[in-house]
Structure 1
Amino acid sequence: MTKGKRRLWFAIGIAVLLTFLMNGQPISRYVNAVKEKEAVFATAAGDEKERLRQMIETWKAGREEAPVDAKVDPTWKAIPGYNGLMVDVEASLEKMLASKQSGPESLVFKEVEPAVTLKQLGAHPIYRGNPKKPAISFMINVAWGNEYLDSMLDTLDKHQVKTTFFFDGSWVKKYPEEAKKIAQRGHEIGNHAYSHPDMKHLGVERIHQEIQRTQEVIEKTVGIKPSLFAPPSGSFNQRVVDIARSSYDMQTIMWTADTVDWKKPSPSWVIQRISKRMENGVLVLMHPTAASEASLDQLLTLAKQKGLVPTTVSELLSSSRLPKQS
């Protein structure tokens, strides 16, 4: 019972008691009268609650979304699921009764997870997120290009964006302070093998060596154990995907849109190329190059203008819905 209701009941009780005492009525009649009034108020409150419950059932029609299961697509391979959205009837009822304001705008929603999750699909490469999730990730593979890193980090800070950097293990070994700087700025860290090899042509032992050495140097340097693996040059086979998943619990990450920045295109060319491919769930591949450094600011601006939220790869692949943007 709210404070206001307690005060109301107290005032009613005092008024009834004084009336009975002034008229010389016995206390027992006072008690019965109070009980009668309580019953009347309880009935009224119950009726109001039931009326609101029925209205909530009406208001929620067309406002709920069913969850989307993760699936294996013939083209895009593993595609993560997407949480549904349902009205929490009891929470909505409590909110409306407490605020004394009712209407569709007061509905309380809760997320409903899909029956099939990304991990349940098994070992598959991932090229994109769920097409219903308005997120995009500008993932940056780092094996060279230190001279452009600071500027790219500053641009990400300017837009208040955290993204995913995939580290080459030998680069981390050579430039530990650069690796620490990126991690300390709050960005997600992924594994990009140790020596930038062509993974699909490697034997089992060498595949393990490339992934494990990188895991170890990243964890030792920045205290992070990556859960994402990006094969150098996008070269892999199913054996690579299986080993990454079964031995290191890592998802193999590819891309939806490629800046091809290693070919040294102009920034305007990169912007034009990527802007055409911007949509829900897109993974954009870039490196710390002059072209990507000069185009990143505008690409982030364009993504936001399209209603997309630039974020990390893990967040993009998560089935959770994004917080409402202000």
Structure 2
Amino acid sequence: MWRIPKTEHKNLKIPTVAKSGFFWFVLLLLIVCSVLYLPTVTSVSSSVDGRELPIYCVETPKKQVALSFDAAWGNEDTQTLLDILAKYNVHATFFMTGGWADSYPEDVKRILAAGHDLGNHSQNHKNMSQLSDEDCKQELMSVHNKVKELTGYEMFLFRPPYGDYDNHVITNARDCGYYPIQWDVDSLDWKDYGADSIVQMVTQNEHLGNGSIILMHNGAKYTKDALETVITTLQGAGYELVPVSQLIYRDHYHMDHEGRQIPDSK
């Protein structure tokens, strides 16, 4: 058995910090700190019968709904929409493509400065379910980094173009730090049926209720003409209009088969 030679053993000194117990105190402190600063583990379940679901709406006792606008083409009406929202003290969510952000960077800044959410609508507005995992993430992170560089804002809400998704689209979005967002009330404003049709499709929609997410488009022909009546009608019915970020749960939730986000306490 190997032993320290007596001559070396005689001169071997135990460090003072170890003798004093300070060494063990420092070690314990490091262990405690490492536990305290571990990343928070959240409880989230988005899978229903093997399907990964985005958030279509939210279960909440509050009479709140969220207005959202997809921005993929044109900006002629953007300032008008912002003025109407400001008039009624309403904050919404704008899901923008990278191409739209490239074309209208000052609008991106104005939307954020007005207190609205900036959401990710992909770089090129492709059908995400047809892309590889790598391309999905590239579509997300390209516009993410662009908007962050432009405004300093870290987007975390994602709406798939065309509402097109499958399991791998949802899991890739979550891997990139995003909450995938759909809608349960569609204004169909993109069909250009007119302002009255938009108002009816939103305010008389069979799915409208607490926690609804309403889909509109900032570039649709009649959206600006319908928005004020949509807002006043919803407010008249007792609804508070909030951005998607304020409506959804960030953790401790699960989904039902309709894509309704439900807090785990229920």
TM-score after normalising by structure 2 = 0.73
Match of 1:205 in 2: 134
Q: Name the structure 1 match of 2:124.
A: 195
- Structure-2 residue corresponding to 1:233: 162
Correspondence for 1:251: 179
Tell me which of 295, 298, 307 is aligned to 2:238. 307
Corresponding residue for 2:194? Answer: 266
User: Are the counterparts in 2 of residues 141 and 286 from structure 1 also a CA contact under 8 Å?
Assistant: yes
Q: Give 1:293's aligned residue.
A: 224
Tell me the percent identity. 31
Q: State the secondary structure of the residue aligned to 2:245.
A: helix
Q: 1:131 Cα deviation (Å)? A: 4.5
Structure-1 separation of matches of 2:43 and 2:70? 24
- In structure 2, C-alpha distance between the alignment counterparts of 1:124 and 1:251, rounded to whole Å: 10
1:161-182 Cα deviation digits (max 9, x unpaired): 1111111012112221111111
Unaligned 5+ runs, structure 1? 1-116, 320-326
Larger helix fraction of residues: 1
Coordinate RMSD, CA, aligned: 1.9
Q: Find the counterpart in structure 2 of residue 129 from structure 1.
A: 58
Higher relative contact order (CA 8 A, sep 6+): 2
Equivalent residues, number: 203
| 5+ residue gaps, structure 2 | 1-40, 47-51, 251-266
Instruction: Check the 8 A contact 1:259/1:292 in 2, yes or no.
Output: no
**Corresponding residue of 1:157:** 86
Q: Which residue identity is paired with 2:97?
A: D
DSSP 3-state at the match of 2:171: helix
Q: Mapping of 1:141-152 within 5 angstroms?
A: 141-152=70-81
Match of 1:282 in 2: 212
Higher Rg: 1
Moved beyond 6 Å, runs of 4+: none
User: 1:25-78 deviations in whole A, cap 9, x for unaligned?
Assistant: xxxxxxxxxxxxxxxxxxxxxxxxxxxxxxxxxxxxxxxxxxxxxxxxxxxxxx
2:44 pairs with 120, 123, 130, which one? 120
Query: C-alpha offsets along residues 124-174 of structure 1, whole Å, 9 cap, x if unaligned?
Result: 310001142211111011011300101100000000011111110121122
In 2 relative to 1, CA 216–255 (structure 1 residues): closer, same or farther, beyond 3 Å? Answer: same
Q: Cα distance 1:119–1:133, how it changes in 2: closer, same or farther (>3 A)?
A: farther
Length-normalised TM-score, structure 1: 0.60
